[in-house]
């Protein structure tokens, strides 16, 4: 993603990704939207193939690293998956990862799609908030689950 300034630095074409909350703020590079392409998986079929995992629904608090590669998301709702069956409700689940590893781990994508409003996405100094949405298809990925007590 580039604006005119960063495209010159990286010797590439501008992609029109600079925007600001209003005219009083400096424009920042912001992602317009990102979606993982739909596949034909039924979400319940995706769960049936999981031997040991977690079903995570919605997020409460996302956090991005300064280089926009590492991230963490505290989950609003999570359940244990054991041998293809949804089991216990889990408390205080936080998902952490690095973007390249996360996207490479996706091995199934559902045929469902939802969009949820997010009150704002903050970025910059001084802080610029932009109303946005978040959502997508159910996805399944391989990951290491660590429990911290």
Please check the confidence at residue 145 and state whether its pLDDT lies above 70.
no
Within 13 A of 55's CA, how many CA atoms are on the CB side?
21
Give all strands (DSSP E) within 11-127, no chain letters.
18-19, 28-29, 52-64, 70-82, 85-90, 94-98, 106-109, 114-123
10-62 tens-digit pLDDT: 999 988 888 888 888 888 887 766 677 778 899 999 999 999 988 988 777 67
Q: Does 140 have pLDDT greater than 80?
A: yes
The confidence band for 87, taking pLDDT boundaries of 50, 70 and 90, is: very high
Query: For 82-93, what is the mean pLDDT?
Result: 92
Burial (CB count <10 Å: 0-12, 13-18, 19+), residue 74:
middle
Close Cβ partners of 56 (under 8 Å, ≥ 6 residues apart): 75, 77, 78, 93, 95
pTM value surpassing 0.75: no
Provide the pLDDT for residue 37: 77
- On whether the CB atoms of residues 139 and 35 are closer than 8 A, the answer is no
């Amino acid at each position: 993603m580039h604006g005119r300034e960063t495209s010159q630095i990286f010797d590439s074409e501008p992609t029109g990704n600079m925007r600001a909350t209003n005219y009083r703020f400096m424009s920042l590079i912001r992602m317009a939207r990102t979606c993982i392409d739909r596949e034909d998986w039924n979400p319940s079929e995706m769960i049936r193939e999981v031997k040991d995992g977690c079903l995570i629904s919605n997020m409460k608090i996302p956090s991005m690293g300064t280089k926009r590669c590492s991230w963490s998301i505290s989950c609003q709702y999570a359940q244990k998956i054991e041998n293809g069956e949804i089991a216990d409700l889990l408390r205080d689940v936080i998902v952490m990862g690095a973007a390249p590893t996360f996207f490479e781990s996706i091995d199934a994508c559902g045929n469902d799609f939802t969009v949820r409003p997010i009150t704002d996405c903050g970025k910059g100094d001084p802080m610029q908030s932009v109303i946005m949405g978040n959502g997508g298809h159910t996805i399944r990925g391989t990951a290491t689950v660590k429990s911290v007590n």
